[in-house]
Amino acid sequence: MAKKLKLRWIILGLLVLLFLFSSIIVNFYVDILWFQEVGYLNTFFKMLGTNWGLRGVQIVIFFLFFLVNFMVLKKVIFQRFLQQTSSNIINIGGQETDLSFLENLPGRRANLLLGGISLLLAVIFSVANPEAWRQFLFFLNGTDFGMVDPILGMDVGFYVFELPFLRFVFESGLILLVVTLVIAAAGYFLLTRPSLRSYKIPPLAQKHLMVLAGLLMFWRAWGYRLDIYRLMFSREGVVFGPGYVDATVRIPVFNILSIALVIIGLVTIFSIFLRSKKPVLYLIVGWLVVAFALTTVYPNVIQRFRVEPNEFAREEQYIANNIEFTNFGFNLHQIEERAHPFTGELNWDIIEEHSGTIENLRIWDWRPILQTYRQLEERRPYYVFNRIDIDRYEIDGELRQVMLAPRELDQNLLPERAKTWVNQALRYTHGFGMAMSPVNTATPEGFPDLIMRDIPPIYPDDIPLDNPSIYFGEMENDFVVAKNASQEFHFPSGDENIYYDYSGDGGIPIQNTLRRLLFALRFNSFQILLAGDINPESRLMFDRSIHERIRKIAPFLAYDADPYTVIHNGRIVWIQDAYTVTDLFPYSEVSREGINYIRNSVKIVIDAYHGSVDFYVVDEEDPIIQTYQKIFPDMFKSIEDFPEGLEKHFRYPEDIFSIQSRMLTTYHMRDPRVFYNREDQWELPQERYGGSTINMTPYYTLMELPGEEELNFILMTPFTPIGRNNMVSWLAAKCDPENYGEIIQYNFPKDRLVFGPMQIEAQIDQSDEISRLISLWDQHGSRVIRGNLLVLPIGDTVLYVEPLFLQSEQAEIPQLRRIIMATGERVVMEPNIEMALEALLGEKIPEELEGLIDEDILPEEELLLEEEEELILEEELPLEEEIPSEEEPPVFPVTENGDLNDLISRAQQAYDRAQEALKEGDWATYGSQQEILREILEEMAILIEEEGLDEQF
């Protein structure tokens, strides 16, 4: 009977545990299915197994150490109170406690009790470090950098791969020893003293505490050795990394303290054979005083009286170390420097030599065009364009720079009544199609010239989009079940909807009822279990956001903030750039992102239809990615296996380029003295956008670099001296696969003035013609948007281009209205690129260059608008003696052919209506009123001539 009762209790306990841990078990099993579906199950088990295995080993070590010490503690207590005294009453913290129950407590139960306490303490005090698993695998698989630190002679790989785990071991051991020592001391003090006056530590307790104290000192002595390595990341000197005081004072001090602690630890342990322990206590107190003086007072004295009076001479070699290692850490040492001779000359011959640059001149800003895409191409409230990407495609045999955006579906934007479980889980499952337009053309209305548009998509023959479905994208939608009996909404077609059955490989097959139950529990959605439209062939898709997807697979990589879409082999894929980073690169300055080493080592391809994720190594020389390849041999693929044709869409990522540009503002100064004095400090420029001043961001462009004939797709940014606005240099990173990652720094002559972005913006502001037109437009329900200023080096000069957009407050559809172009000495504003170049150069385009530039920007009818605006500007100028009084309007004679006053009134009405239509962006009404105004003016001209009134006008 007792055995049956015991069995029932065991079964009940197991059921309770199963209930308590059911959520963990379900999530774990579903994660296994998910990683199996994406093909990274081994990676999942490697990360999880190492993490829990390391924590388990740590807990076991802590448990055994606590248990052994508790056994000693128990032995002392039992000896003193249960065997050597006649009283079972002791004083614990001022209260009398009866320990007689310990006399009858069997040894096995006492050990179980102590074991339980040891296990609890082990779980509590073991260090739950989420990075420990990676540090351990780095420690086992580290790769040499082939670069040695100049002070300690260690390969950089030691600091990146080995030191973090050694620090983890040290900190764990330090916690273990300190906690054990405190518990043992407190236990002996509270459980073995009858009163404070007669208190005396038992001999065995003294030996126990001395051994623990000696071990703690040995451990701290090792910590001083590790502290020496940590000085390679010191922030105490004039630059990051060890300085004069660190190298000549702190390193010797830490060595002395380490040796001293070993000696003190030995003395402490051997003191168990001495009758008096006071010498040991005096030795420890003396060491603490000396340690404080040597680690705090002494370095400050040396810094104040030896370094600061002659700082550069003392710190020069350490500044040089910082410059060298920072340049390596951010890959600045690979930048090629070139001189960019600046003459400022621009003519048609130079334009012809750089025709590729002019043909791909970007006149669209990604911010206004995103709004326009949303207004023109989203079509339904649940479709969204998240961001604009810039890329290049071959169209009609020519390489063209384009802007594009995927049309994703956001379930949160469904009408409230449509947010049913069936709609969100079974029907509205995917986005559809793309919008694409060249960067250098516009429609007559000032809208993007969409070469890929509509639903279903219309696309160029050169860029087929056979499968426009987007199941995996940037939107953070909930799970969906594809390939279900109710069919999925595919796209709208007039008043009807087109439905679709998924035929891809994405998602986890439902297969059976058990899986349906597990999925229902995992997502807290029992409709999955009950829905009749779900069948064994259905596929459950979750973690569909590419941001979640890649980070779940590889949480140890850093990721660029801007994944981008590419149309490849008739369907949409995402390319995500990933980085290997660390903050443990010695001597290297830490960026504002908290890192001092970064490489763009990995490119990830995510299929928007199938959801497949592939990691490709693009920088095989990076020691960190080499280490990850050792750890996860099945995860990374060679760049040679990259899908054919997709490499044409490589882009050097913006995040790393921005970090490198920012670091280069200081670390282009390679000479330690120049660096120390900050004689040539740069900064990234600012520009005007809308009505605000903003920091200029890097931008992609397709151009011929100075001295090169081939078109290059590059990412570039200019530099200005700190506190000044003229331009001194610019940086370009090549994106094309044959020279991917090559970075060139072009330096302008120091004796020539090259205008920077804000100086050009100031010239635009000071232009009377431009300011008047902007003022005219920027009122009465309209807003002028000054777009992104592009700085484009062409030949031995620089061309500045800024688009001008007009946006009605009623309809937020920015329209491209003008192009501002400048060379520094002259600023012009015209309706299109060709006219702007003609105005800038002061002569018509040569016949041989006609057709070089697309003429899709603002056709002839817009030229009439420009002429009209010039008339308006002329009318706004004050004319003395000709301004009639408002009280006495001019009266013209009544003629046989009609009333001239009536014609003038009608002309004024037509003009006013045209101006209102202009402000509203109603070009049809504007055109009709202009035609009416023209007819009235012709009638007035005839009337004036017939009546002989010419002299009055």
Supply 453's token pair: 């548009």
Q: Could you tell me the pLDDT band of residue 329, with boundaries at 50, 70 and 90? A: very high
Mean of pLDDT values over 467-474? 96
pLDDT at 226: 96
pLDDT at 734: 96
Q: CA–CA distance from 82 to each of 553, 869, 919 (Å)?
A: 59, 107, 99
pLDDT value at position 889? 41
Sign of the C-alpha dihedral computed for residues 457, 458, 460 and 462 taken in this order: positive
Contact 155, 146 (CB under 8 A): yes
Q: Among 94-98, 132-136, 224-228, 380-384, whose mean pLDDT is lowest?
A: 94-98
pLDDT at 199: 54
Q: What is the mean pLDDT of residues 549-574?
A: 96
Q: What's the confidence (pLDDT) of residue 281?
A: 81
- Contacts with 913 (C-beta within 8 Å, 6 or more apart), sequence order: 925, 929
Per-residue model confidence as pLDDT tens digits over 851-875: 666 544 444 444 445 544 554 444 4
Residue appearing with tokens 């809208």: 447
pLDDT, average across residues 128-135: 87
In this structure, what token pair is assigned to residue 516?
Answer: 């349906």
Q: What is the DSSP letter of 93?
A: T
d(Cα 238, Cα 669) in Å, to the nearest integer? Answer: 16
DSSP string over 632-650: -TTTEEEGGGSPTTGGGG-
Spatial contact of 549 and 559, defined as CB atoms under 8 Å apart: no
Count of beta carbons in the 10 Å neighbourhood of residue 472: 29
813: pLDDT confidence band, cut at 50, 70 and 90? confident
Whether 142 shows a pLDDT value over 50: the answer reads yes
Name the band, by pLDDT with cuts 50, 70 and 90, for residue 269: confident
- What's the average model confidence in pLDDT over 395-410? 94
% pLDDT > 70, the chain: 84
Across 716-729, average pLDDT: 94
Are the C-beta atoms of 598 and 329 separated by less than 8 Å? yes
**CA nearest 147: which of 139, 158, 136, 138?**
158
Least confident of 254-258, 382-386, 812-816, 910-914: 910-914
First to last CA, the chain: 125
pLDDT tens sequence across 484-524:
998 899 999 878 899 999 999 999 999 999 999 999 999 99
The per-residue pLDDT for 486 is 87
Q: Which residues contact residue 637 at a Cβ distance below 8 angstroms, ignoring those fewer than 6 apart?
A: 614, 615, 616, 617
Cα–Cα distance, 778 to 772 (Å, whole number): 10
Predicted TM-score of the model (pTM): 0.85
Burial of 121 (0-12, 13-18, 19+ CB in 10 A): buried
pLDDT band for position 2 (50/70/90)?
Answer: low
Tally the C-alpha atoms within 13 A of residue 250's C-alpha that lie toward its C-beta: 25
The band of 162, judged by pLDDT with boundaries at 50, 70 and 90, is very high
DSSP letter (8 states) at residue 831: S
Inform me whether the pLDDT recorded for 898 exceeds 50: no
**Rg over CA atoms, the chain:** 38
Check pLDDT > 70 for residue 340.
Answer: yes
pLDDT of residue 435: 96
Q: Which residues of 832-847 are buried (b: 16+ CB within 10 A; e: fewer)?
A: bbbbbbbebbeeebee
User: For residue 287, how many other CB atoms are within 10 A of its CB?
Assistant: 16
The percent helix, strand, coil of the chain (3-state, each to 5) is 50, 20, 30
Residue 648's DSSP bridge partners are none
Q: What is the mean pLDDT of the chain?
A: 86
CB 94 within 8 A of CB 196: no
Q: Tell me the C-alpha to C-alpha distance, in Å, between residue 566 and each of 194, 463, 573.
A: 80, 10, 5
| 713 close to 700: Cβ distance less than 8 angstroms | yes
Task: Work out the pLDDT band at 189, boundaries 50, 70, 90.
Answer: confident
How large is the average pLDDT for residues 438-449? 91
The average pLDDT across 208-235 equals 94
pLDDT at 286: 85
DSSP SS3 for 473: strand
Is there a contact between 400 and 360 (Cβ–Cβ < 8 Å)? yes
96 forms beta bridges with 91
pLDDT (average), residues 780-793: 87
Contact 211, 158 (CB under 8 A): no
Report the pLDDT averaged over residues 413-442. Answer: 93
Quick one: average pLDDT of 574-595? 96
Q: What would the mean pLDDT of 930-943 be, rounded to a whole number?
A: 71
Quick one: pLDDT at residue 789? 92
pLDDT of residue 18: 64
**Residue scoring higher pLDDT (925 or 405):** 405
- How far is residue 717's CA from residue 790's CA, in Å, rounded to a whole number? 9
Beta strands 431-432 and 469-470: pairing type? Answer: antiparallel
Residue 314 pLDDT exceeds 50: yes
Structure tokens at 300: 């400050």
Report in angstroms the alpha-carbon separations of 119 from 126, 717, 945: 10, 58, 111
Quote the pLDDT of residue 748: 94
pLDDT at 868: 45
C-alpha–C-alpha distance, residues 482 and 200, integer Å: 76
Q: Specify the pLDDT at position 890.
A: 42
pLDDT beyond 90 at 1:
no
Give me the DSSP letters along 873-914: HHHHS--TTT---SSS---PPEETTEEHHHHHHHHHHHHHHH
pLDDT at 919: 57
Which has more pLDDT, 859 or 634? 634
pLDDT for 73-126, tens place per residue?
Answer: 877 766 665 544 455 555 555 566 555 555 555 566 777 888 888 899 998 888
